[in-house]
Amino acid sequence: MSLEYPAVSVIMAAYNGAAFIRDTIDSVFAQTMADFEIVVVDDRSKDDTPAVLAAIGDPRLRVFQAERNGGPAVARTIAMGHARGRFIAGLDQDDLCRPDRFAVQLAYLDAHPGIALVGSAIEPFCGERVRPGPFPDLVEPERIDWMMTMLNPIAWSTVMMRGEVARALDPFERDEYRFAEDFDLYRRVRAHGRIGRIAEPLVRYRLHPGGASQRHEEGMIASAARVLLERYEPLFGDGALDSALLMSRYASARHAPPDALVLQRCGAVMEHLLATQDALPAEEALESASRLWWRMARTGLRAGSYGLPALLRAQPRFAHRRGARGRSIGDAAIGAARMLRWRR
């Protein structure tokens, strides 16, 4: 192990993270692979985060102070400037690494030289409650490319990328895509290699009311749409921004479609993407799109936005999944009950 040239540099933006950041850093110290450094940039925290970090006293932890509060993209870019590792790992201040995370990801990158960045599945948790993570079977680079035309399937805290690729990005993260800077980074990484994903959940993803996804959701939706817009403009022309916002809000952020017309518009966007995609064989792309459309459709059913007859009228030709209609009957009943309570 070399502290001067570690195998892995973990880069982390810290801001008002005193409640969780020590547990996060301890989960890195617990790695089975010990050849790493942790580079933290404190983004001018107003709580005890600097004191928590100063008390750790481990030479593998390097802490820097931002000159001003600039947001996570700026702080991560500063951290990247100090990183010395051959590989770069992302981690947010409130998530937890599984002890073998680094070992598993390094082995994967060694075995797949064409992969520039690898993520993994996540295990979302809130207190003692654990939820299933999204996209449990999404691993192939071709399927990741296809999904990235509609949403961001890679959690930042699971990312490990090759150092030469990370250093080729200038800047490392772009603040103009704030709240979706990681999605923007993944699209830029594709110029340097492919993106893979490991099916095992190597990171526990903390859900809590103070998380950025709750506090800045509208900003995240707008920024993710801007990332999609780059691909959508040649495909949708004047309707590109509207199409990107539809997918960002209802496919990525998982908002319930407010009515069947919006659901139908989402299906039309996906149908056009299917007609122009070349990442996957047609049948695989159709199955993936169908699964995603039914997830959106059932979200609206459960919210009471529409009933099952309206959903079936909005159903696009590609969305014919065996058993999906049957499961939707229960969702429709939940939605109807919610609407009845609301009207009362």
Give CA 189 to chain center in angstroms. Answer: 15
* pTM for the whole structure: 0.92
Euclidean distance between CA atoms 156 and 171, whole angstroms: 17
93 and 209 both lie in a single domain: yes
225 and 93 both lie in a single domain: no
13 and 130 both lie in a single domain: yes
200 and 320 both lie in a single domain: no
pLDDT at position 216 is 82
88 and 192 both lie in a single domain: yes
pLDDT tens digit sequence for 133-192? 999 999 999 999 999 999 999 999 999 999 999 999 999 999 999 999 999 999 999 999
269 and 200 both lie in a single domain: no
Q: Of all residues in the chain, what percent carry a pLDDT higher than 90? A: 87
Residue 1 forms part of a structural domain: no
Residue 306 forms part of a structural domain: yes
238 and 166 both lie in a single domain: no
Euclidean distance between CA atoms 131 and 216, whole angstroms: 22
Euclidean distance between CA atoms 270 and 7, whole angstroms: 41
208 and 274 both lie in a single domain: no
Q: What is the CATH number of the domain that holds 56?
A: 3.90.550.10
Euclidean distance between CA atoms 75 and 243, whole angstroms: 31
Residue 282 forms part of a structural domain: yes
Residue 12 forms part of a structural domain: yes
pLDDT tens digit sequence for 104-124? 999 999 999 999 999 999 999
Within the chain, residue ranges assigned H as helices are 21-29, 49-54, 72-82, 101-111, 141-147, 163-168, 181-189, 212-215, 217-236, 240-246, 260-276, 282-303, 308-314, 324-343
Structure tokens at 249: 């809000």
Contact between residue 274 and residue 289 where contact means Cβ atoms under 8 Å apart = yes
pLDDT at 283 over 60: yes
In this prediction, residues 235-245 reach a mean pLDDT of 97
62 and 157 both lie in a single domain: yes
* Domain residue limits at 261: 216-343
117 and 249 both lie in a single domain: no
- Across 84-88, 130-134, 282-286, the highest mean pLDDT is recorded for 84-88
| Number of structural domains in the chain | 2
274 and 153 both lie in a single domain: no
pLDDT tens digit sequence for 93-109? 999 999 999 999 999 99
Question: Average pLDDT of the chain?
Answer: 92
